[in-house]
Amino acid sequence: MTSRVYALANQKGGVGKTTTAINMAACVAEAGTPVLLIDLDPQANATTGLGFRPDELGLSTYDLLHGTSLEDVVIDTSVPNLWLAPSHPDLAAAQVELDQGDTLLRDILHGTGERWPYVFVDCPPSLGLLTLNALVAGREMLIPIQAEYYALEGLGMLLETVEMIKAHLNPDLVVSTIVVTMYDGRTRLASGVAQEVRDHFGDQVLKTAIPRSVRVSEAPSYGQTVMTYDPASPGALSYLEAAREIARKGAPQ
């Protein structure tokens, strides 16, 4: 059995990438499917967002990329069926230490499907070697895109990078999922951007948009997902429906 490995990437910061990684992984896990969330961002926001302090943890994804076994790095979270490979600021050094041709993460995840059918990799908000490593490791790419004009420009650049990776390093990589985040249907701009993305990318775009939400923004400061922080909030319900869409879509052929 092969894991469905999603690399969550967008070189533009502030689009809800880490928030989407945490909450999407949690929603799939809460439905009863074991999930591994890999924090590959030196800022370690996915790690702190789940209630952990990187400086209090023994091992991190830095160690993982330098030969420590996945079993030794992974920790349980408070969400049933969700495990975390935590990050640490030391991971920034890996940007320099990794070789461009490395497929370390792909090798590490080989054969993990029996334990974790779903793997979500939270990438840094840049297209450096850590993100490249994740895109080589995964078959599917999940792109959160904020409903604003400049997000469309950034998406074009990101897709150019994807095509380069497909041509040289990972021919199986597909942008299987795009999710519109921080959506405010009351504004003409947000509606227009969302419609333009749907017109261009069709079924790759989830029907469920994630609304701009104070609850979604607050939850990480309490070390919680929005589902545990406020399960009845519009943000929590939207992430649940988005996760259901992913499950229904199935893996790309």
Any residues with CB less than 8 A from the CB of 235 and at least 6 apart, and which? 23, 210, 211, 213, 215, 216, 226
Return the pLDDT at 35: 97
Q: What is the pLDDT of residue 150?
A: 75
pLDDT digits (tens, 9 = 90+) for 180-189: 998 887 888 8
Please state the pTM of the whole predicted model: 0.93
Per-residue pLDDT tens over the stretch 79-100: 999 999 999 999 988 877 776 5
Residue 30 structural domain: 4-249
Does 1 have pLDDT greater than 80? no
pLDDT tens per residue across span 28-83: 999 999 999 999 999 999 999 999 999 999 899 999 998 899 999 999 999 999 99
Using alpha carbons, list the distances in angstroms from residue 232 to 25, 86, 215, 216: 18, 28, 10, 12
Which residues fall within 8 angstroms of residue 117, CB to CB, at 6 or more apart?
1, 3, 4, 33, 34, 35
pLDDT tens, residue by residue, 144-193: 998 887 777 778 888 888 999 999 989 999 999 999 998 887 888 888 88
The C-alpha atoms of residue 29 and residue 142 are separated, in whole angstroms, by: 17
Provide the pLDDT for residue 102.
Answer: 57
Mean pLDDT of the chain: 89
Structural domains counted in the chain: 1
Report the CATH number that the domain containing residue 128 is assigned in CATH: 3.40.50.300
